[in-house]
Amino acid sequence: MVVLSLVFVAGEAEARRLGGGATSGMKRQTPPPQPAQPVPAKPAATPGTAAAPAAAVPPKRNWLGPIAGIAAGLGLAALFSHLGMGEGLANVMTMLLLAGVAFFAVRWAMRRFGRPAERAPQGLQFAGAGGAPVSAGPPFGAGPSAHAAGTSQPSGLPTGLPSGFDAPAFERIAKLIFIRMQAANDAGNLEDLRQFATPEMFATFRLDLQDRQGAAQQTDVMQLDAQVLDFSNEADQQIVSVRFHGLIRETPESPAMPFDETWHLVKPVDGSREWAIAGIAQNQVG
């Protein structure tokens, strides 16, 4: 009984999430997470204070007046010609009035069709994550980087992100990959672990699987949040640091425990391979 109890305890101790809850691989100094800035509440109107006027709406242009005037002018020109008051005068007035019609028509056409339609950023595919298209940003596991210019960063995101970096979309895909990698680690799926890890980190994951000696494992991610902490270009690769935190249960009988760790994801600038896990750092759980 004592021997069986020790084996059972050892098996329970070996049940761990991906990375074993330890720091391994690439080590980097990342800035602290920045909380999102709260949106200030709209002040309520006090009694006796007039509400702020709404934004001025440009008056609609009524073209009936000019058109009616032009029609009347054309009628007068025809009347002058009929009464014999000078065919030349009637022709001149007709030409002037037709020029006025052309002017208003061209002006209306320029206002109606002169503005080019705003083009939304083209969607990108996140390879290895279901192929769901998302708005512009660096794909998690895709080819060369493609950044759409002219987008602003929402509040609460770290500074230094490249223009067009869609951090919310990247964080969403990162959470999907986090859950997928936990399932791959539980099932001992070497192909998934190799696809989303650098050779060095894959060697670490494989060694952890060997130490587990085929013991069954079930990791349940009860609550998960992700936050992009840092983006940098170093040498011939891009590096994105993503903080994962929440609640996780590593054995079916154990309660959910808080966890807080940062994954360092790398991708060559030439797009020769997908984004891959290069390091996992454990953060202090508050």
Please state the three-class secondary structure of 77-88 as a single string.
HHHHHHCCCCHH
Burial of 198 (0-12, 13-18, 19+ CB in 10 A): buried
Which stretches within 125-221 are classed as H helix?
A: 167-187, 190-195, 199-212
Integer angstrom CA distances of residue 7 from 3, 136, 186, 200 = 6, 51, 19, 30
pLDDT of residue 277: 96
pLDDT, averaged per 10 consecutive residues of the chain (286 residues), comes to 44 69 86 56 52 50 56 58 62 74 76 50 38 42 36 54 88 96 95 94 95 91 96 91 96 92 94 92 84
d(CA 244, CA 261): 5
pLDDT of residue 178: 97
pTM of the model: 0.57
Burial of 54 (0-12, 13-18, 19+ CB in 10 A): exposed
d(CA 215, CA 188): 10
d(CA 159, CA 182): 30
pLDDT of residue 65: 59
Q: Provide the 8-state DSSP code for 15.
A: -
Residue 259 corresponds to which tokens in the numbers above?
């966890």
